[in-house]
Structure 1
């Protein structure tokens, strides 16, 4: 028996409930993880607001870091091997806001020693989303890329992954996020009135790719104005505008995106292990205070990644 956060009905942080759940013994192809940190992502409470009625109660949390406490018969983890006591991270799972969880071994990887638990628990959802955006837009070292919301979790991972390609990146953020954009290789520009003109001043020869990580009309309108090929504009937050204006929107539930994101997990872990992909964590909370942490997450200004510590 352990404690786990669930949404018993549709809603955000206000409906979250801490309940007792059984932790099943792992079967073949499964492992049990003693959770040391649970990652937090905007998708956590976004999905609890819009789930199918049959999905409730909905367990929350897509990624964790911890220690293997049990393995099913003849089972190895995705990165190979695995033994009780090994430090691991897991994504994509369901119900990670807990202190112990049994999950498919195919979603579990050895944790790099260079990452602490809170960082490891926040690496892959943002990281795989950023990698998927690069796939869809075909961004390369020859391009100038505009990233809206570059100081957020996906934006920070995207800045780093594009830097490895040698790509020039212009990143929008508030003034408080300017140092973050610059730290990870971007050229900062403030969002708000006059954004299009400010970007044109920085890139007089044009912008090849635009990535919307915020979902605002400003981000979409400026992207459409600056990028000639709508096949090289992508959003992770404005599905309705993408449909209406004929550009791409990506999400982890899309079959092609899901398959790709699963395929790049080990590569991103290897980059983090080599010090080439950082995960800035702003704050941690005890697991029992998940509702307060979720309220901060929903505010849109957490200042970096958040993690729950059982």
Structure 2
């Protein structure tokens, strides 16, 4: 038997149920992964609460899109995957479970040097940051401003941009300035006077902005710094992006991602894992909860004010 977290109606964390279910079988072209760690993302709570639109619930729905674990069963035509392979699952469906079904093309090999929690935590942050920066044209010599640089996506963006040879300015609260310096970013405190502080930090100007904060201050500062709004992207204010003339990917955006953008998000897993193996990329972990306490983990991810990723332990 397997265990999973599910919900049958939209609502608060209390609608989540921890239930025993039959262990799934590997389908043709796919595998069953016994999960070792599961990533918790804000989108999980938004979908569960109904804050982010989704289809009506007509059967129990299992949240989660990030997981890492061990292949325990392989279906026919699943390529060269084998029982015992340690993997990260890309774009998982229903990751809050002890036994996750995935297609062969969703799997990425996990390097032995990368821990389970780190592997499960990279998906949404690394995929979002990598795709957004690539779509905005960040490369060697670019000067990029990242609003909300101490969050999970922000930290991933700082590291990718640094590794590509960009100059990075990043905003965060006073208490998170040292974290920005860890990634060689030039730290700037948000709040009154932000525009002047950014201009002082980047006298040559800003080429690209990635907004991971979503505040009016962040957007207004961005508009004052970058005239070409196609080089301003947001992962938070997607619903407003078309009317503002800026770019957005998911985050409530009515514009679907292109095939190229989706491919970039998938590509990010392998890139991040390789950098992690080399010691050039890291994921900050905030808390680890048993899978049975997923409601507490989701509540903490929205309201707890933690810096770093929250994960679930399906083996606890």
Normalised by the length of structure 1, the TM-score is 0.93
Of 261, 285, 292, the residue aligned with 1:281 is: 285
- The verdict on how the C-alpha distance between 1:58 and 1:255 changes in structure 2, with shifts beyond 3 A counting, is farther
In the alignment, is the contact (CA less than 8 A) between 1:148 and 1:172 conserved in 2?
yes
Pairwise CA distance, 1:57 = 3.1
The correspondence of residues 79-118 of structure 1 with structure 2, limited to 5 A, is 81-118=80-117
Which structure 2 segments of 5+ residues have no match?
none
Partner of 1:169: 168
Pairwise CA distance, 1:191 = 1.1
Counterpart secondary structure, 1:31: strand
Pairwise CA distance, 1:11 = 3.0
Partner of 1:302: 306
Partner of 2:266: 262
- The verdict on how the C-alpha distance between 1:12 and 1:167 changes in structure 2, with shifts beyond 3 A counting, is farther
In the alignment, is the contact (CA less than 8 A) between 1:208 and 1:228 conserved in 2?
no
Pairing 1:142–2:145 present: no
In the alignment, is the contact (CA less than 8 A) between 2:235 and 2:250 conserved in 1?
yes
Deviations 1:171-229 (A, max 9, x none): 11112211111101211111112111111121222111111112111111111111111
Which structure 1 segments of 5+ residues have no match?
none
Partner of 2:63: 60
In the alignment, is the contact (CA less than 8 A) between 1:220 and 1:241 conserved in 2?
no
Pairwise CA distance, 1:14 = 3.5
Misfit runs of 4+, over 6 Å: none
Pairwise CA distance, 1:300 = 5.9
- 1:272 and 1:12 mapped to 2: Cα distance? 35
Pairwise CA distance, 1:289 = 1.1
Normalised by the length of structure 2, the TM-score is 0.91
- 1:159 and 1:309 mapped to 2: Cα distance? 28
- 1:55 and 1:156 mapped to 2: Cα distance? 37
